[in-house]
Structure 1
């Protein structure tokens, strides 16, 4: 019988220093008398990124904005293996209060934190935080519209084809998870199914849904340079954490990603990046130094 896998998630929390550097938060756990990164076990009904944010809040008291997906660590625990997925997270508020799980928090340089933490797997995650070849934080969430049924089953203008029941569930799920990345604007191609995909998110955020026709499938095909230029302006560095959400279509998103240099699974050549209905690409930076994380969806089963 295979050993049990305990799914968990955590955050590599960082903040900017006045001198232009960064420092990161490490916590002391009195139960184990160790210094570590905030993390905890997955709860039913959560995606792992939701687990990570919840555990960071519980162990540090800090409010964070989710950034680049970091490493997955694995180590033996009693009865099996503990698997921890980490995200980089920029601190934007909150205050630490000592508790039963964590009784001390220290803000340290990355090198000092690596010297203090007890476990080698935490040092590996801190080394990922120190990378400068890709951004720590995204600036763009590129969403493919959710499921809208079959085109052949729709009698009207295809631009007006709405989401089906599964698509509406996907849209609601996006509205639950994407706020963790702190969207500041929501834009969409001019298709009903695109607009309906991001309307629940915009409602949660209290933002209008703005039109971005250049990223529609037909519009992008007619003028790819205009569409790419529209996307590239959202990849520029931002002075504060947050992202722009753009909803587009399956005929445009892979071409946009290829133009930016994205290849699936890091394989060179003509392998097209995926863009399943309801999926999200988390992007930032520039070609050659691009953050590009793909979320097929946000499953609540950590083994999915």
Structure 2
């Protein structure tokens, strides 16, 4: 059953390494200290809600990372007519610019180390979210791995399959991804060479002012002759830093995700019966520990978004 009220927010953080701080806000209406959050607007994804609410409450622009946790609790309905079920989905959010000014909802913001923040938080549910956030390093590398959007049926296309374009539904999925992936700070775009893969992420590349770089090893025909090379290529892309957006195919993504999860001991909660999901137009947000010395990127978490359109919270590991 869907919750009556949905909200989203983030553990907003800044700093580097172990020397990081998190932001708590004081809401005079409730006289409490909490993590920044707010209600989902109609037609809005939870990721968009989190970024918008952070800006409105704290004045900071945040770049989202991994999904952290969901809380659920009862709230009174208006006019005293019973209670409603409310869920709040929290992300990791790095503060990249901005400054705080008191506003209608928040009159004070404090940057604190996690221990001090835990002592100040009013609600135990927020403490649990903070602890979940602190269980992994906040500094990380994010790879956004998307399966190409819908391109119609192969049997209905008479030309070269490499040139099969997105359908109208696929174009809508691509536009939704164009709105979603910037929230995670995508800064470069790579794609399997097939047209439908490139078209899925072309809008993001246009917005960034960059070219779509072709990655043959992440296409089905390039990956399967030697999957080890394809996995190594994705790890090399992660090791280059930044936040790459990579467009690939349904014949590649499940095996790639499974191999990384098995290698690094990550349980894929999105998996059902051992099958890793990869719907057309879906997105995996892969979070890696930054490379250190001779150690390459290590997968820390994997969040699955079955659609870039407004939907329930992602499955995460």
TM value normalised by structure 1: 0.91
Structure 2 SS opposite 1:203: helix
Please state if 1:172 is matched with 2:182.
no
Which string of whole-angstrom CA distances, capped at 9 and with x for unpartnered residues, describes residues 219-269 of structure 1?
A: 11122222111101133384xxx410111101111111121126542779x
Structure 1 SS opposite 2:63: strand
Please state if 1:43 is matched with 2:46.
no
Question: What CA RMSD, in Å, does the superposition of the two structures yield over aligned residues?
Answer: 2.3
Matches within 5 A, 1:4-83: 5-16=4-15, 20-78=18-76, 79-83=83-87
Matches within 5 A, 1:278-297: 278-285=281-288, 289-297=299-307
Match of 1:184 in 2: 187
Structure 1 SS opposite 2:105: coil
Structure 2 SS opposite 1:294: strand
Distance, in Å, in 2 between the alignment partners of 1:272 and 1:160 is: 29
Distance, in Å, in 1 between the alignment partners of 2:75 and 2:259 is: 44
Q: 1:146 deviation in Å? A: 0.3
Which one of the candidate residues 141, 157, 162 is aligned to 1:159? 162
Structure 1 SS opposite 2:162: helix
Q: 1:89 deviation in Å? A: 0.4
Match of 1:243 in 2: 243
Please state if 1:196 is matched with 2:199.
yes
Stretches of structure 2 lacking an aligned partner (at least 5 in a row): 77-82, 290-296
Matches within 5 A, 1:87-126: 87-126=91-130
Which string of whole-angstrom CA distances, capped at 9 and with x for unpartnered residues, describes residues 20-65 of structure 1?
A: 4211000000111111111111101100111111000000000111
Stretches of structure 1 lacking an aligned partner (at least 5 in a row): none
Q: 1:302 deviation in Å? A: 4.9
TM value normalised by structure 2: 0.88
Please state if 1:148 is matched with 2:151.
yes
Match of 2:292 in 1: none
Structure 2 SS opposite 1:76: strand
Question: How many equivalent residue pairs?
Answer: 297
Query: Is the CA contact (8 Å cut-off) linking 1:261 and 1:288 kept in structure 2?
Result: no
Distance, in Å, in 1 between the alignment partners of 2:217 and 2:3 is: 49
Distance, in Å, in 1 between the alignment partners of 2:58 and 2:304 is: 28
